[in-house]
Amino acid sequence: MASDDPQVLQWLPAQGRPEQLMLVLHGVGDSAAGMAPLAAALRRAFPQAAVLVPDGFDPFDGDPSGALGGWQWFSRQGLDEGNRAQRVRQVLPKLAAWVRGAQQATGVGPAATALIGFSQGAICALELAQAEDGLAGRVLAFAGRYATLPERALQHTTLHFFHGADDRVIAADHARAAMQRVAELQGDATIDIVQGLGHELPGVLVDCAIDRLRTHIPHRTWAAALGAVPGLAERHASQRDDERDAED
């Protein structure tokens, strides 16, 4: 890793080489330490994973006194819908380089990399995946949103959206809109919205994320498996059509 990289908390397998790489991006004004409970839960669920949690690239500028400390991926000063996408784009090259450095350092490739973000970290994770399809095999976005809804489906990355229904910082409607757009584009995504939760990262959402990582089979994997057996993909498609007709 380069000398100007952020401070990083890391958890590595007790023995053997990492089989997965999980990169966790915190929210605005927070730090890597604030994501330690999530990192610990991921380590318990995936003991052969390397979990890396960096501080944001810039000091948090939302507190003039500096008493709060913390870090950010991009500034919220003067932020609005007109400049949000540009703010996020500015950080993506450095973030992409950091992700590649982490992959090289751990020996884990993109397909086994999960990019996990909360709030502002989720925004960056989603936009980075959109800018560089396949840089990570999965993106887990907690209480996040797109800066700009995508115009093309990702071919090598699965998206997982997690949100509190009562989030008043980033409304759950952003996750719903993202899921609808990805579905329209025939991309691969899941969504979990939990009632009674706000802009937070509680255990129930972490449990949802772990379940998605364990059980969700990406569409591209299904397609590859179906394509490996002559005629199976056609029979599978015909079966889906029959089921759709039965529902209608």
Active site residues: 119, 167, 199
Question: Where does residue 166 rank: exposed (0-12), middle (13-18), buried (19+ CB within 10 A)?
Answer: middle
The Cα 233–Cα 239 span in angstroms is 10
Is residue 146 within 8 A of residue 119, CB to CB? The reply is no
Specify the residue for token string 């939990």.
Answer: 194
> What is the 8-class DSSP label of residue 229?
S
Q: Which residues of 55-71 are buried (b: 16+ CB within 10 A; e: fewer)?
A: bbbeebeeeeeeeeebb
The Cα 117–Cα 160 span in angstroms is 11
> What is the 8-class DSSP label of residue 159?
E
Question: Where does residue 6 rank: exposed (0-12), middle (13-18), buried (19+ CB within 10 A)?
Answer: middle
The amino acid at 49: A
The amino acid at 150: P
Is residue 123 within 8 A of residue 88, CB to CB? The reply is yes
| Residue 12: φ, ψ to 5° | -120, 155
